[in-house]
Amino acid sequence: MSLDLGRLGYGLADYYALATLVLLGAGAAMALLRQPARRMAVGRAAIGGLLALLAIGLIPAWPRSRVLGPVARPDLAPSPDGGRAIGPIAAGPAGMAPAAAARQPEASKPEPVLSPAEAEARRLPAAIPGWRTLAGWSFLAGAGLMVAWLAVGSWQAAALRLRSRRPEEGVRELLSRVVGEGGVVPELLVNDLLHQPVAVGVLRPAIILPARFVQGEPEHRLEAALAHEWAHIRNRDLWLVAASRLLLPVLYAHPAYWWLRRRIRDDQEVLADAAAAGVEGRLSYAEVLLAWSRGVSAPAPFATGGSLALFERPSQIKRRIVMLLDHRLRVEPTCPAGWQRGVSAVAAAAVLGLSLVTLRPAAAGAGASGAPTAAGVETVEEMSAMPGGTAQRRGRLLGPDGKPFAGAKVYLSHQGSGWNRRPAQSDRPALIGTTADDGTFGYPEEARPEVRWLSQPVVKAEGYGPAFAEPEEKGDVATFRLVKDDVPLRGRVLDIQGRPVAGATVQVVGVLWHPGGSLDPWIEKLKAEKTAYPVEYSTLKSWSLRDVPGLFPPGTTDAEGRFTVTGLGRERIASLLISGPGIETRFEYAATRPMATMRYPDFPGNNGSHDVTYHGTGFDLVVGPGLEATGTVTDKDTGSPLAGAVVETAALFGNPLRTLSAVTDGEGRYRLIGIPPKTQFNDDQSLLVSLAGGPPYLPTVKPLGKPEGGRPIAVDFQLKRGVWATGRVVEKGTGQGVKANFSYYILADNPHAKSYPPYGTIRAGMPNETEPDGTFKLAVMPGPGVIGVRVGNEHYRLGAGAEKIPGPRRDGGGLDMIPAEPGYLMPKNYHSLGIIDPKVGDESVSLEIALDRGKTVRGKVVDPDGRPVTGFRVEGLQDHFRMWTPKPLPTDEFVVEGIGEGSDRDVLVCHEGLRLAGSYVIKPDEAGPIVVRLEPAGRLSGRIVDAAGLPMAEADLVSFNPFGDAKHERAPFAGPVKTDKDGRFRAEALIPGRKYNIKVQTKGRLTDVANDVVVKSGESKDLGDLTVKMGD
């Protein structure tokens, strides 16, 4: 059997040249990308392109255009009679032409006839192979070794499976939990010879664990290992490795190909590590990897490069640990579908175009189309580098039918900077992608559910209501579900005389929904508890960030005052902002379902309470006349007008609407219309003016006043310059900047306060926000003041730095209250406080405010017999307003955070199901871990009656844990307690030996009915009739 090494050489020359272009393009693209998932998309496209080029090269009839011009070849030299003169040929390696072309024989000279000896003499040089022949055969020998290497590796992987055994059922159940619902659980095996977990097989994938992992590793480590290997199978890494190894017999001599394979393997491990870290946490998983590497003394016995197993030797684990500890890199779990489609399109176009090109020169005498027969050619794929994203989380969109939904738009909604700016149509959520064919998409880590008040992913599709993340994320993919938009929200706006209001604007500024899809549970609870916001906060989910209006075009009422809002979806509640000429601006809730209007107090026991109204579709809204304010804003010292000053209502009314605002013109004039006469707290309106840019003017506030004769209310303002306070909020110990909200207070003994207009801020909110790196800049008054900061989590201790604030204190129910403007400063409202004292004439003053995590103590909970207990709730885990954990804890362990230096912490534990309770006071010098031993809980019962002795049905009972409980004698109820129709109540899971002060909420106030009530362990105490005296 003869082998045409010449044709093989030219074919390899073509393939290696074009493969080099593919590899250089892929390498350049991957070097520009930071996200492993996107680099993997480029790597897959490169491998696919190389395979496609190899396959096309085997098609003889594929059309090709030659880059090089004709080159004379002795084996294709034209003969005088139009045929071919066949002569000697020296086969060359890829890309090489024969060393010399044979001369064309003259027509008049016939080919000489050689004797056998002469013929043998001419054949002798051909029997001695040249370097080109040796190179060709050497290449084929190397390719054969590669095939053998791959075959041995596959055989060893198969043998490993045969020598492995099935693990215990508990390990299988753990793998099923890792895979999750809907996933196909791979085969799970255990082997005594392995040192590291591996995933093997393409058609029948399996995970093989070292026996020591199953026997000696804790469950959480075993779960991380399974998550790592399952990620390889789920991501189809085994298929990609197999495809890359198919090319090894051809490209084994190309160093760039080995680099590409190593890069792909590195990124596969990074993505698998990210999946495992999602179970264990980055730091914990890095510790697990380190522990594994220490336990490995030699590579796995089957660890040959030809195997389809995915493993990492201990020497490679260091790099992975470094990447895990690099918190600057937030790993996308998957590549966005749109990005993948773009890469695939570029790859296909490149392969198709370059497959028409060959570097093989045409033979002399060949036709215009090239040689009559040509070796196959390959094209190069050019991959464009695309910008890397920040997606760290994955979501899957389902339609109302529960099936994956493709092509929907994914937005990222932001609160934005600061709290005191009115939502505007220009604040539009950012479009960050579309859903893939399987409904999946990526979104940033910053939009995780626990900080939905700052950032939130929203998915929209035509004809449906927006989809939001469901409360429970399964695995590493959050579920989003569209709802049908078949119930439009309709309403009508009327004035106080019943006349239609035409031309009013109706703007959606928020959306609320029940996680179950129906509003029925919310309605039932609202009717039962008869209080608006506590039920709303505990039952409904909300999207109420500043840029909500950007996805809902404002509507306008027609001549009959009617409007229609679509795009919300059925069983949703819209937060509506309704405004227009001559009417007060109103904030209303309306549901996309027919229902009677419901009206309940906002909060129980709140003396400033007002009613909150919930409408159904088809409602009528009567609005009163709005107030109008006009005036000027000037510099107090110079009288010069101030342009660009923001004049707004000083109190919030409605949620999430912040304030109504207007901006002064070049002459310092403003006009603010649609002002409601009363605030949310039923106070008269006040106006606040501030200047965001320019000199450091302090904001000031004035009462709005009353209208006279239907004319606008004139309110003029004067602003006075202060001093810039610049600084940074950092975490103590690390110095890392932390984004925070903050407020500024002027201490009561500040001597300059009298020379400034009354200082003011937006009521009921922290009006300022730092940059993401914690830096801030704020106008302050000369003299002593305080800046208090608070972040979006409760892992830090409260009131850090309060002991350094000078001046008197007042007792506010166990909390310090420091006299200041714009109101009393309560240090416990802030995580940390910084003191400033700039002088008159200073340009600026700087400070650093450190957040203190305090001491952390770990603990466990056991029953009376010392056995571990799970499913309990705890009060006192954080330095926060005392509250019980809303859900039972899944393990027997808990963590107490934010304990200040020299402080103790009272920890209360209860288990409603087991009827056990207990407490533990962590002492200032105690480091833990602690053990809370539960005992049988106490119970209280009784009947609440009014002054006439009649039972009070559906009355709410509370027992608070006061801040001033320095001796830790008291305890709160662990859950809501309500009387039945006969006025009777029962309070369960009470802490034995603790005092309970019982109050009843009636008509917006709290009334004491029993004080210092104590129950013993396992005691059930009946308090009899407890009378509520309304005059108390």
HEC states along 630-692? EEEEEECCCCCECCCCEEEECECCCCCCCCCEEECCCCCEEEEEEECCECCCCCECEEEEECC
Which pLDDT belongs to residue 909? 95
Q: Do domains 391-484 and 627-717 have the same CATH topology?
A: yes
Which pLDDT belongs to residue 280? 63
Average pLDDT of the chain, as a whole number: 79
Confidence of residue 518 (pLDDT cuts 50, 70, 90): very high
* Superfamily the domain 855-935 falls into: Carboxypeptidase-like, regulatory domain (2.60.40.1120)
Statement: residue 62 has pLDDT above 70: no
Q: How many helices (H) and strands (E) does the chain have?
A: 15, 55
What's the whole-number mean pLDDT along residues 775-790?
Answer: 93
What's the whole-number mean pLDDT along residues 708-723?
Answer: 90
Fold of 723-851: Immunoglobulin-like (2.60.40)
Cα–Cα distance, 511 to 509 (Å, whole number):
7
Q: Pairing relation of β-strands 855-862 and 930-933?
A: parallel
- Domain residue ranges in the chain: 153-324, 391-484, 489-623, 627-717, 723-851, 855-935, 937-1028
Cα–Cα distance, 776 to 791 (Å, whole number):
14
Fold of 489-623: Immunoglobulin-like (2.60.40)
* Residue 1032, token pair as written in the block: 């108390």
Under CATH, which number does the domain 937-1028 receive? 2.60.40.10
∠ CA 534-536-541, rounded to 5°:
130
Residue of 438, 508, 446, 448 whose CA lies nearest to 478: 448
What's the whole-number mean pLDDT along residues 53-63?
Answer: 70
Say which CATH class 391-484 falls into: mainly beta
What's the whole-number mean pLDDT along residues 497-520?
Answer: 93
Cα–Cα distance, 567 to 656 (Å, whole number):
19
* Residue 580, token pair as written in the block: 């227009």
∠ CA 844-850-853, rounded to 5°:
170
Highest mean pLDDT among 84-93, 171-180, 372-381: 171-180
Contacts of 895 (CB under 8 A, 6+ apart): 856, 857, 858, 859, 877
Given 3-state DSSP classes, what are the helix, strand and coil percentages for the chain, each rounded to the nearest 5?
A: 25, 30, 45
CATH of 627-717, one of 3.40.50.1820, 2.60.40.1930, 3.30.70.120, 2.60.40.1120: 2.60.40.1120
3-state secondary structure of 350: helix
Evaluate the omega torsion of the peptide bond into residue 822 and state whether it is cis, within 30 degrees of 0: yes
* DSSP one-letter string for 71-102: B--GGGPBPTTSSB---------TT---SSPP
Statement: residue 899 has pLDDT above 90: no
Lowest mean pLDDT across 385-399, 564-578, 759-773, 967-981:
385-399
Whether 164 contacts 191, CB under 8 Å: yes
What's the whole-number mean pLDDT along residues 38-56?
Answer: 84
128 compared with 933, residue with greater pLDDT:
933
Confidence of residue 109 (pLDDT cuts 50, 70, 90): very low
What's the whole-number mean pLDDT along residues 826-837?
Answer: 91
Q: What letters, b where the CB count within 10 A reaches 16 and e where it falls short, cover 232-246? A: bbbbebbebbbbbbe
3-state secondary structure of 140: helix
Contacts of 331 (CB under 8 A, 6+ apart): 35, 36, 37, 270, 271, 274, 392
Whether 393 contacts 377, CB under 8 Å: no
Statement: residue 667 has pLDDT above 70: yes
Cα–Cα distance, 725 to 751 (Å, whole number):
18
Give Cα 389 distance to the centre of its chain.
Answer: 13
* DSSP one-letter string for 820-881: EESS-B-GGGSSEEEEE-PPTT-SEEEEEEEE---EEEEEEEE-TTS-B--S-EEE-SSSSS
Say which residue the tokens 């705890």 belong to: 874
Whether 847 contacts 742, CB under 8 Å: no
Q: For 318, phi and psi rounded to 5 degrees?
A: -55, -45
Whether 321 contacts 286, CB under 8 Å: yes
Q: For 653, phi and psi rounded to 5 degrees?
A: -140, 110
State if pTM tops 0.85: no
- The DSSP output letter for 994 is -
What's the whole-number mean pLDDT along residues 921-948?
Answer: 92
Which pLDDT belongs to residue 608? 46
The 10s digit of each residue's pLDDT in 281-315 is: 667 777 776 666 665 554 444 444 434 444 455 44
How many Cβ atoms sit within 10 Å of the Cβ of residue 514?
A: 17
Count the alpha carbons within 13 Å of 139 in the hemisphere toward its beta carbon. Answer: 19
Contacts of 392 (CB under 8 A, 6+ apart): 330, 331, 332, 333, 442, 444, 445
Contacts of 140 (CB under 8 A, 6+ apart): none
